[in-house]
Amino acid sequence: MTSAATDGDKPYRVLILGAGFGGLYTAVYLSKYLGKHRPDVWVTVVDRRNYFLFTPMLHSVATGALEPRYVAHSIRKIFRKTRVHAHVGRIERIDLENRQVITAHRSLPYDDLVIGLGSETNFFGNLELERGAFTLKNLEDAARINNHIIRQFERAYWEESPEIKRGLLTFVVVGAGPTGVELAGEIYEYAHRELLRDFGRRITGDEIRVVLVEATGRILPSLPEKLSHEAIRRLESIGIEVLLSTRLESWDGTTIRLNSGATFLSGTLIWSAGVKTNPLVRELPLDKDSQGRIIVRSTLEAKTMDHVWVLGDNAHAIDPFEQKPYPPTAQTAVRQARVVAHNIAARLLRKPEKTFAHRHVGGFVSIGDNYALLSAKQFTLTGILGWFLWNLVYINKLPIIRYRLFSTFGLFLKVLFERATTEVDLCPEESFPESRKDRKKVG
Ligand SMILES: Cc1cc2nc3c(=O)[nH]c(=O)nc-3n(C[C@H](O)[C@H](O)[C@H](O)COP(=O)(O)OP(=O)(O)OC[C@H]3O[C@@H](n4cnc5c(N)ncnc54)[C@H](O)[C@@H]3O)c2cc1C
């Protein structure tokens, strides 16, 4: 392994790709661990956006419960009191051979590289879905879903045909992992508790349908089985239809076809049935697993290349307790960030490095208003208590205190006041990619 020595006055450059859970926290921890030592070390974070996106609360934005800026936090503000520089621009290529990264603006050389570029939605080659389905990966997606739900109610309000009206008010979510389950719950509450109040003169509750489709026999596979059953009970008790062991065959913008042979009208399909590694990462000439994630050593350095560190959704890191790869979660990425930052600083300061071995303690999932399931070791909690804890844990994870206050305030607004039902058309449907424009819509 090569040592991290500096060359005269030349700075030592740590380049971090991605200001998500992995990259952003690595930068903040690295700045903290280096303190006043090694002023020659430059830390730069590159991201296409100038904000850190707090994904666990994205479904609240998609359903009018939180304003977008409560979950999107300026990285420049976060880095203000650190030694970290931000470079905002799309990364086009990672050139490992010449130790440089090419962005839309310039090429950035590095001595240590940290890769935390996250993942993208996996449509498993279904181009029709890729063109037409909604996804929930970023702020634009959340705004689109929010506008679309409101617009479906606007269309349904004056629709005379009961069949078309029901299709307009049928919302289908495919994939019952945490994102799908949480989103289905939020859409149901939004439609029934909020939009019905605005549209109730011509729309009734039993005309609204929320359907959750899952190809396997259980939902929320990352939670203990008991909690999966509890989640189904909760979803069904509030009125969501859960279709297990059911695959979506096709959706043409108006008609859903399932492998069971069932067909029904729906103008909304949200796809949350899989993710795949960022394409820039998939292309790299490093040892990868079948999903394109880079295989790392226990120190989180790439197995086949020194000074390249990988974390979060891009890393295939083995959990020594379970003997399987860590799941792609924010929890994993943040914990790995601490170890990557420690190890880069340790090598620069000639101290011992650490290995990553975190015992996964459980998970959380919120289902609609005032209800969450929590599992941690032997401990499980459901209901409003779980929901409060869910919020406390997530808000506490926000990177700066001011944002924690923002989000707490936003949640109190959600509990005490109505959700927003304004169609703020910053992402009009007409601005969708060319392929989406001409799609036949129900109604
Ligand atoms: C809706 C939703 C809800 C979720 N809820 C939870 C939850 O409740 N709990 C949980 O633990 N996990 C949750 N996750 C998963 C969690 O968000 C990810 O596992 C986590 O963000 C992975 O961190 P990361 O650093 O690997 O990638 P990310 O946090 O995704 O960060 C990747 C960064 O790379 C940037 N980037 C990508 N490509 C380029 C490029 N070409 N040029 C420049 N920049 C680029 C992106 O803009 C992004 O900022 C959720 C995910 C989603 C989508």
Specify the pLDDT at position 8.
55
Query: 159 C-alpha vs ligand 1 centroid, how far in Å?
Result: 39
Q: Tens of pLDDT along 64-76?
A: 988 888 889 899 9
Specify the pLDDT at position 4.
45
Residue nearest to atom 53 of ligand 1 (CA): 137
pTM of the model: 0.90
Specify the pLDDT at position 363.
73
**Domain 127-273+369-437 part of CATH 3.50.50.100:** yes
User: Is the CA virtual torsion 38, 39, 45, 46 positive or negative?
Assistant: negative
Question: Is the minimum distance from the CB of 329 to ligand 1 under 6 angstroms?
Answer: yes
Angle (CA) 139-257-228 rounded to 5° is 60
Specify the pLDDT at position 1.
38
Specify the pLDDT at position 400.
66
Question: Is the minimum distance from the CB of 69 to ligand 1 under 6 angstroms?
Answer: no
Question: Is the minimum distance from the CB of 179 to ligand 1 under 6 angstroms?
Answer: yes
Q: Supply φ then ψ for residue 281, to 5 degrees.
A: -75, -40
For the chain, percent of residues with pLDDT exceeding 90: 70
Query: 138 C-alpha vs ligand 1 centroid, how far in Å?
Result: 9
Asked if 191 and 151 touch (Cβ cutoff 8 Å), the reply is no
* List of the chain residues with pLDDT < 50: 1-6, 434-441, 443
Of 89, 90, 108, nearest to 98 (Cα)?
108
Query: 331 C-alpha vs ligand 1 centroid, how far in Å?
Result: 11
Question: Is the minimum distance from the CB of 22 to ligand 1 under 6 angstroms?
Answer: yes
Residue 136 Cα: closest atom of ligand 1: 1
Residue 103 Cα: closest atom of ligand 1: 42
Query: 170 C-alpha vs ligand 1 centroid, how far in Å?
Result: 29
Residue 18 Cα: closest atom of ligand 1: 34
Residue nearest to atom 4 of ligand 1 (CA): 56
Q: How far apart are CA 225 and CA 282, in angstroms?
A: 33
Query: 135 C-alpha vs ligand 1 centroid, how far in Å?
Result: 14
Specify the pLDDT at position 128.
87
Specify the pLDDT at position 277.
96
Q: Where in the chain is the domain with CATH 3.50.50.100?
A: 127-273+369-437
**Domain spanning 12-48+89-121+276-361: CATH superfamily:** FAD/NAD(P)-binding domain (3.50.50.60)
Query: 3 C-alpha vs ligand 1 centroid, how far in Å?
Result: 31
